[in-house]
């Protein structure tokens, strides 16, 4: 079958299913089936009947809003690849900005203090995305990560194998008693969706991401409150914390949003909210008072 005809039919099916990026997803699924880079699809003229059947099956599943990354088995995050599937939160592109902030913070620590490696904790690590990206870009950093879900922890074990990251299983906000007061950077992508926002969650996330990684109390900030308290114990004086939040939890929120959570404790300075590439409030950072 002709590649162009296959892709045109797939795009139409994905559009009908409400997929946000039908052309991109169709390309990626066909590239996955053919085991070629997406950029090389233009070199493909015809597709075998067997490959066309496999492609059609994946397109049907994607049209039913199964996450693209579950179908390919891979999520790309900054410069690393991650195995993902049922039971683990699929890392989002916007979280790469939070990881980038943590990497910059660690580089700054390294420049200030050459006597020992910088120490970072990735709380609620999920697939291990942030921890793996940090270790990839700041290999001398001492990276620790924790995940509560047994299923997600298994994915993180697979993704972090051989990296040197210290991965643990447990409650992120009770973990690492052995590192109290010794950490330079705490980074966290906690659950932050309000329970009442169930209907507004994208179908891919609502039906396939673990709810443990999504929802956090009536206003979505329950985990953020625990993080503000726990990070204050984990960090050395002057250490920094960064955490992702929902669009609606930025500075314009009626309750002050994520930044107000840190301000309310009286333990944090330099509290700042950061936008994502689309200009939406995306993550908050703060420095532990000395």
What pLDDT digit, counting tens, does each position of 42-61 carry?
999 999 999 999 999 999 99
- Asked if the model's pLDDT at residue 248 lies above 60, the reply is yes
- Asked if the model's pLDDT at residue 206 lies above 70, the reply is no
**What residue ranges of the chain are covered by domains with CATH 1.10.8?**
3-64
Residue 114 confidence (pLDDT) = 78
pLDDT in tens, 161-175: 999 999 999 999 999
Tell me what the mean pLDDT of segment 150-169 comes to. 96
Give buried/exposed letters for 209-245 (b at 16+ CB in 10 A, else e): bbebbbbbeebbbbbbbbbbebbbebbeeebbbbbbb
pLDDT in tens, 68-100: 999 999 999 999 999 999 989 899 899 999 999
- The reply to whether CATH 3.40.50.1580 applies to domain 77-288 is no
**What residue ranges of the chain are covered by domains with CATH 3.40.50.150?**
77-288
CATH code, residues 3-64: 1.10.8
Q: Tell me the three state secondary structure of residue 28.
A: helix
Tell me what the mean pLDDT of segment 133-158 comes to. 96
């Amino acid at each position: 079958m002709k590649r162009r005809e296959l892709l045109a039919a797939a795009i139409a099916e994905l559009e009908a299913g409400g997929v946000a990026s039908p052309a991109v997803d169709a390309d990626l699924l066909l590239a996955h089936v053919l085991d070629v880079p997406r950029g090389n699809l233009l070199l493909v003229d015809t597709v075998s009947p067997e490959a066309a059947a496999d492609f059609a099956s994946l397109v049907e599943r994607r049209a039913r809003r199964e996450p693209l990354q579950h179908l390919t088995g891979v999520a790309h995050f900054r410069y690393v690849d991650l195995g993902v599937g049922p039971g683990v939160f699929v890392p989002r592109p916007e979280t790469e900005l939070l990881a980038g902030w943590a990497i910059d913070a660690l580089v700054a620590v390294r420049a200030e203090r050459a006597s020992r490696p910088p120490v970072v904790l990735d709380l609620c690590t999920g697939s291990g995305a942030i921890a793996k990206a940090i270790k990839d870009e700041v290999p001398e950093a001492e990276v620790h990560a924790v995940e509560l879900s047994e299923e997600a922890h298994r994915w993180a074990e697979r993704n972090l194998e051989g990296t040197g990251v210290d991965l643990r299983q447990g409650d992120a906000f009770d973990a690492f008693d052995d590192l109290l007061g010794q950490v330079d950077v705490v980074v966290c992508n906690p659950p932050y969706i309000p329970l009442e926002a169930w209907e507004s969650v994208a179908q891919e996330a609502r039906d396939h991401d673990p709810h443990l990684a999504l929802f956090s109390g009536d206003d979505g900030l329950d985990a953020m409150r625990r993080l503000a308290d726990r990070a204050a114990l984990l960090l050395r004086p002057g250490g920094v914390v960064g955490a992702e939040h929902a669009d609606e939890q930025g500075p314009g929120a009626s309750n002050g949003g994520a930044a107000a959570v840190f301000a309310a404790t009286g333990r944090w300075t330099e509290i700042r909210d950061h936008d994502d590439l689309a200009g939406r409030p995306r993550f908050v950072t703060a420095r532990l008072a000395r």
